[in-house]
Structures are given as C-alpha cells and as structure tokens.
Structure 1
C-alpha cells in the first residue's frame, strides 16, 4: 500500500529547509513548498554550504532557526569530477569512489548530525537516495561506487532514525527515491527508462512526505510512497 497525503493541508504555515537548493530537484521542491510554507534554502553554489565539510555544516546549523516541519536533503551526484558510473569492477578508481562516499553518504550523515536537532517533533526529515542503492533490488550490477554510497546513506538514515525517535517520537526520518528525473546531469543515462520533469518529481515527493508519520520512521520509499527493499 502506497503512502501519500495532502501536503498543503498538513504543512500550511510551517517552515521547510531544502539542502541542495540549486539542483533540479531541490529548486523544484522549493517552488512546491513555497506555495504553503516558508522555505530556507542552502547550497554550495549560492551560500557556501558544503556537505563534504563538517565545519560548513556545523556553522550553518548554528545560524538556522529551530522547529522545521520539513528538512529535505536534495544533495547528491551520479558523476563527480567527470567520473561517471562504472560498468565493471575493473573500472574502480579509489579516489572517485571516495568522492562518491563523501558526497552521497558522509554528507547526509553530517546533515543528520548537525541539522536533525532543528526538526520539529512531528516533522519529516527526508534524504534523497536512489533505487540503485537497494541491495535487494540490484539485478543488473554496475555503478558500484554510486550504488554503494547510496546503500551506505540508506543505512545511515535508518540508524539515525532509530536514535532521533527517542527524542522525537512523532517525527519521520526517511530515505526517498524521486524516480528518474530529467536534468542535464541525468540526460545521457535516461535511455529507455521512463522519466519525469523536476516539477512532477517535486509534486510526487510532496505527496509522499505528507503521508509520512512515525510508523514510517527509518524507511526507504519511492516517489509513489511504496517501500523499496533494502
């Protein structure tokens, strides 16, 4: 059974924080959230918020207000420094793999460490993961560094959710898969896969976020609100 709800009714008048605000999904989420709530935005490009540098994350955490109803981490990359996803284990590059983990796994961990205290009890902390990070769903192989980094992020989110629930039992901390979203960065990987525009992805994610509660804490869901295998 999919999890969806009425975003506007639930979050009207609240406050959201979007991290990775200049990306295709992040900017679309800001536009969607702003229809009903105040939104704060952070990105490396616009204000120097760098998820790979703990000092940057910690400094911004001290400047932000408390009691966000939504904190959404939209950071992440499939290609870093012109290193695309590997087609074979023989293509593994240690530095490229480390960069994937720094952005797609350690970055979300630092966000959870420093920014989750700003989440209101009853709010939603969502981190953008990917279906290819599912071990159980992997039937194709390839893309080893990206898959592994996203799988690590899923474990980080799940583990942090257990801890956060002890102080905020009404909150939901989750990993979300937005679907295949059209952007300059993903265009050459779309192939025959169905895709959606960033605005469509934002609408889909908003509906899923609206349906999340403590029963879904620590879960991994797709854009339809359906559970993804770990």
Structure 2
C-alpha cells in the first residue's frame, strides 16, 4: 500500500489508523469536519473536498460516525424512538459513507488491488440482533451495510481488483463510546487501528461486499 485516504482523520479511530499507516511509510491524505470543514452529510461538501484530490488511492477508509447525536441516546424501547434521532443517525452513519463512496470512485484504481472500507458495527447486523433496542443506530448501520454490499456488486464490474467492505472495530476507547464501555471489552484506538489494518491487509477482490469484525471473522448481515 502506497497511498491512503482517511475520511474522519481527526477522530479517535481515524487518527490512529492514519498514524499507523504513516509509520509504515504510507502517504496518507486525511479529511475531517474539524480540520477541513468536510461535512459528509452534505453532498456539495463531499464533492468539493474529494473533487480537489488526485488519485489513485490504494485505500479509502471512512471512519466517520457517531453513537449519540445532539444528546439523543440509543433507545432502550420503541417509546423512546423519535423521527429526528433516526434521521440524524441515518444521515451521518449511512448517507455520509454513501456520499463518500459515490465521489471517491474516481480516486480508486480500476485495474490494481484496492480497498474501500467503512466503519460499521455489529449491532447493525440483522442476523445477530438478539437484544433489540438501539433502533436508530442499528437501522443506520444496517443501511450502510446494504450500501456497501450493493456498491460492491456494481463496482465489481468496473474495478475487478477492488474490495468494498464493512468493518466492525469492536468497542474502542474513544469519545464515541463513553458511557458504553462497561458492557463490552475495550481496546485503545491504537490497538483498534492495528486490528483493522490487519484485516484490511488480508482483503482481496474475493472478499468484496462482505462485513468483517476486527478479528477478520465475517459478520452475518
């Protein structure tokens, strides 16, 4: 891997992945809302920022997302669900990565191996959902999984060496998971980055359209 584009470079996982890649000697381009004004929910912003870049990139990694938006906590029951919370989650966690993918296709090589990966979450798995709740967040993550799977089918016709994948990083010690770390084993952002890169390193075109956890195990849809 020679060149990587990290969307969400200023976040806990995004910055750790960028630093790990730079330590390998990879040339990293990073974009974020706080550092560059990139708003992944605004297509004009995505088009402007990605349109200013020159590819190709061997890796495009989308590390944006949020569990709590404007104070709306994950719902424990249907009675806590609100339209605004659901729309906010969908915009950031599904529409955002979809827009990045749309406008980064031109930055991906057409004939050489490459990976487009976006953070998802195991709670977005319909097949693995045995607890219920967390309606807005689960729905948004299930939606981004569908976007990635569908794009893998389409891009497989034009970018035969490309792998499009959804990745579950585990529970990572960042601001994203504050208040929810007692329920699951956690890892530092640096550890999560190494885990994710280990998975990415092993991805090939035969893995496109799939959903993997941080151990490289396939997660059911």
User: Is 1:160 matched up with 2:142?
Assistant: no
Shift, 1:187, TM fit: 2.3
* Other-structure match for 1:7: none
2:29 corresponding residue in structure 1: 40
- Give the deviation of 1:145 after TM superposition: 0.3
The aligned residue for residue 228 of structure 1 is: 219
1:117 positional shift: 2.1
Is the CA contact 1:181–1:198 (under 8 Å) kept in the aligned structure 2?
yes
Residue of structure 1 equivalent to 2:17: 29
Query: Could you say what secondary structure the match of 2:94 adopts?
Result: helix
Report whether the alignment pairs 1:115 with 2:115.
no
Equivalent pair of 1:116/1:125 in contact (CA under 8 Å):
no
Task: Give the match's secondary structure for 2:166.
Answer: strand
Q: Distance in 2 between matches of 1:124 and 1:50?
A: 22
Mapped contact 1:181–1:196 kept (Cα < 8 A): yes
CA-based RMSD of the aligned residues comes to 0.8
TM score, norm. by length of structure 1: 0.93
Hey, what's the Cα distance between the residues in 2 that align with 1:26 and 1:184? 13
RCO greater where, 1 or 2, for CA within 8 Å and sep 6 or more? 1
How far did 1:62 drift?
Answer: 1.4
Q: Which secondary structure state, in structure 2, belongs to the residue aligned with residue 77 of structure 1? A: coil
Matches within 5 A, 1:1-230: 11=1, 14-35=2-23, 36-120=25-109, 121-230=112-221
Q: Residue 172 of structure 1 aligns to a residue in which SS?
A: strand
Q: Deviations over 1:125-152 (max 9, x none)?
A: 0000000000000001110000000000
Q: Which runs of no fewer than 5 residues in structure 2 stay unpaired?
A: none
Where do 5+ consecutive residues of structure 1 fail to align?
1-10
On the 8 A contact 1:50/1:57 being kept in 2, the answer is: yes
The whole-number CA distance in structure 2 between the counterparts of 1:210 and 1:224 is: 12
TM-score calculated relative to the size of structure 2: 0.97
Q: Following the alignment from structure 2 to structure 1, what is the Cα–Cα distance between the partners of residues 12 and 137?
A: 19
- Aligned partners of 1:55, 1:155: CA distance in 2, in Å? 23
**For residues 76-97 of structure 1, what are the alpha-carbon distances to aligned partners after superposition, in whole Å with 9 as ceiling and x for unaligned?**
0000011111000111110111
* Alignment coverage as a number of residue pairs: 218
Segments of 4+ in structure 1 off by > 3 A? none
d(CA) in 1 for partners of 2:152, 2:185: 31
